[in-house]
Chains A and B, each alone.
Chain A
Amino acid sequence: MFILDHLWIIMALPLAGSMLTLLAGRHWPKKLVNLSSVGFPVLAFIAYLELAREFFALSSTQIPWIKDYFTWMTAGNFRVDFALQIDQLTIVMLGVVTFVGMLIHIYSIGYMAHEEGYYRFFAEMNLFMFFMLTLVMSANLVLLFVGWEGVGLCSYLLISFFFTKHSAASAGKKAFITTRIGDFGFTIGILMAFWLFKAVDYKSMFAAVNHMGIESMHHWGYLTVICLLLLAGAVGKSAQLPLYVWLPDAMEGPTPVSALIHAATMVTAGVYMVARMNPLFSRAPAAMLFVAIIGAVTALYAATIGLAQSDIKKVLAYSTISQLGYMFLACGVGAYAAGIFHLMTHAFFKALLFLCAGSVIHAMGGEQDMFKMGGLRKKIPWTYGTMLVATLAISGAPLFAGFFSKDEILFDAYSGTNSNFLLYALGMAGALLTACYMFRLIFLTFHREPRFDEHHVHVHESPKVMLVPLVILAIMSVIGGWFVLPTYWGGKDYFKGFLDPVFGGSEALAQQLHPGWHEPPHGLEYEMTTIAVIVAFIGFLIALYLYILKPAAAKKLADSTKPIYTLIWNKYYVDELYGAVIIGPLIWLSRNVLWKVIDTGLIDGTVNGLAFLSRGVGGGVRHIQSGNTRSYATWVVVGAIAVTVFFVWMVH
Chain B
Amino acid sequence: MDGALVANQGYLLTVLTFFPLLGTFALLLLKGDDHVWIRRLTLVTSIIEFILSLLLLRGFDISTGSYQLQEIYDWIPSLHIHYHMGIDGISLFLVILTTFLTPLAVLCSWNSIHEHVKEFFAMLLVLEMGMVGVFCSLDLFLFFLFWEVMLIPMYFLIGIWGHGRKIYAALKFILYTMLGSILMLVAILWLSRVSGTFDLVAIQSMLSSGQISLSWHTELLMFLAFMLAFAIKVPLFPLHTWLPDAHTEAPTAGSVILAGVLLKMGTYGMLRFCLPLFPEAAHRAAPVIAVLAIIGIVYAALVAMVQHDLKRLVAYTSVSHLGFVVLGIFVFNPVAMEGAIYQMLNHGVSTGMLFLVCGMLYDRRHTYEIKEFGGLLKPMPILCAFFLFACLSSLALPMLNGFIGEFMILIGVFDSHHFAWASWAATGAILSAVYLLWAYQRVAMEKVTVEKNEKLPDATPRERLILIVASLVILFMGIFSPMFTHRMDATTTALLQQVSNKGGYQVGALRSRPAPHASAVASSAHELALRSVSLERQARP
Contact = CB atoms under 8 A, between A and B. Distances in A.
B339 interface: yes
Interface in B465-487: 479, 481-482, 485-486
B195 to A, nearest CB: 14
Contact of B479 (A72, A173, A176, A209): A72
A173 B443 CA distance: 13
B302 A590 contact: yes
A224 B397 CA distance: 28
Given A211-B516, A211-B517, A636-B152, A191 B397 contact: no
Given A73-B482, A211-B516, A211-B517, A183 B429 contact: yes
B305 A164 contact: no
Given A73-B407, A599-B241, A586 B302 contact: yes
A138 to B, nearest CB: 11
Contact of A651 (B79, B171, B445): B79
Contacts of B302: 586, 589-590, 594
B414 A192 contact: yes
A629 B153 CA distance: 12
A587 B422 contact: no
Interface string A258-285: 0000000000000000000000000000
B303 A177 contact: no
A625 B305 contact: no
Interface in B88-105: none
Contact of A212 (B306, B338, B426, B516): B516
Given A73-B481, A74-B485, A194-B411, A184 B429 contact: yes
A164 B241 contact: no
A170 interface: yes
Interface in A76-106: 76-78
A173 B437 contact: yes
A153 interface: yes
Contact of A603 (B238, B411, B438, B516): B238
Contact of B441 (A170, A197, A603): A170
Nearest to B151: A636
Interface stretch (A141-149, A391-399, A521-529): A141-149
A173 B513 CA distance: 40
B123 to A, nearest CB: 11
Interface in B287-333: 299, 302-303, 305-307, 333
Given A146-B399, A163-B446, A164-B447, A187 B429 contact: yes
Contacts of A183: 429-430
- A166, A187, A587, A651, most chain B CB atoms within 10 A: A187
Contact of A625 (B167, B238, B241, B339): B167
Given A72-B481, A192-B414, A198-B513, A595 B306 contact: yes
A563 to B, nearest CB: 35
A191 B159 CA distance: 45
Interface size class for chain A?
35 or more
Contact of B306 (A74, A180, A591, A632): A591
Interface string B135-167: 000000000000000001001100110000001
Contacts of B58: none
A223 to B, nearest CB: 9
B239 to A, nearest CB: 8
A169 B441 contact: yes
B375 interface: yes
Interface residues of B, number: 74
Given A75-B485, A194-B414, A650 B193 contact: yes
A301 interface: no
- A70, A145, A177, most chain B CB atoms within 10 A: A177
A627 B159 contact: yes
Contacts of A165: 446
Interface string A403-440: 00000000000000000000000000000000000000
Given A77-B513, A603-B241, A590 B429 contact: no
A177 B434 contact: yes
A253 interface: no
Nearest to B80: A651
A5 interface: no
B183 interface: no
Interface string B421-463: 0110011011001100110010011110000000000000000
Given A181-B430, A184-B426, A212 B481 contact: no
Interface string A174-218: 001100110110011001101111100000000011011100000
B237 to A, nearest CB: 9
A531 interface: no
Nearest to B116: A629
Interface string B374-410: 0101100000000000001000011100011001101
Contacts of B159: 627
Nearest to B427: A184
B44 interface: no
A604 interface: yes
- A598, A599, A646, most chain B CB atoms within 10 A: A599
A76 B441 contact: no
Contacts of A595: 303, 306-307
Nearest to B239: A603
Contacts of A73: 404, 407-408, 481-482, 485
Contacts of A599: 241, 303
Contacts of B488: 75
B519 interface: yes
B128 interface: no
A63 interface: no
Contact of B445 (A160, A211, A589): A160
B516 A196 contact: yes
A188 B413 CA distance: 11
- A149, A589, A632, most chain B CB atoms within 10 A: A149
Contacts of A598: 299
A611 interface: yes
Contacts of B377: 163
Given A194-B415, A624-B171, A173 B438 contact: yes
Nearest to B423: A188
Contact of A145 (B398, B423, B441, B481): B398
A70 B480 CA distance: 9
A156 B375 CA distance: 17
A71 B482 contact: yes
B33 to A, nearest CB: 19
Contacts of B444: 163
A485 B397 CA distance: 44
A150 interface: yes
Contacts of A145: 398
Given A142-B407, A163-B445, A611-B172, 18 more contacts: A73-B404, A75-B335, A75-B338, A75-B339, A75-B412, A76-B335, A146-B399, A163-B446, A177-B430, A194-B415, A198-B513, A587-B305, A589-B302, A590-B305, A595-B303, A607-B242, A625-B171, A651-B79
CB-CB nearest 7 A-B residue pairs: A76-B334, A75-B338, A169-B445, A191-B414, A590-B302, A146-B398, A591-B306
24 contacts: A72-B479, A75-B338, A76-B334, A150-B397, A160-B441, A163-B445, A164-B375, A166-B446, A173-B437, A177-B434, A183-B429, A183-B430, A187-B429, A191-B426, A192-B414, A194-B414, A221-B519, A590-B302, A599-B241, A607-B241, A611-B175, A632-B156, A643-B185, A646-B189
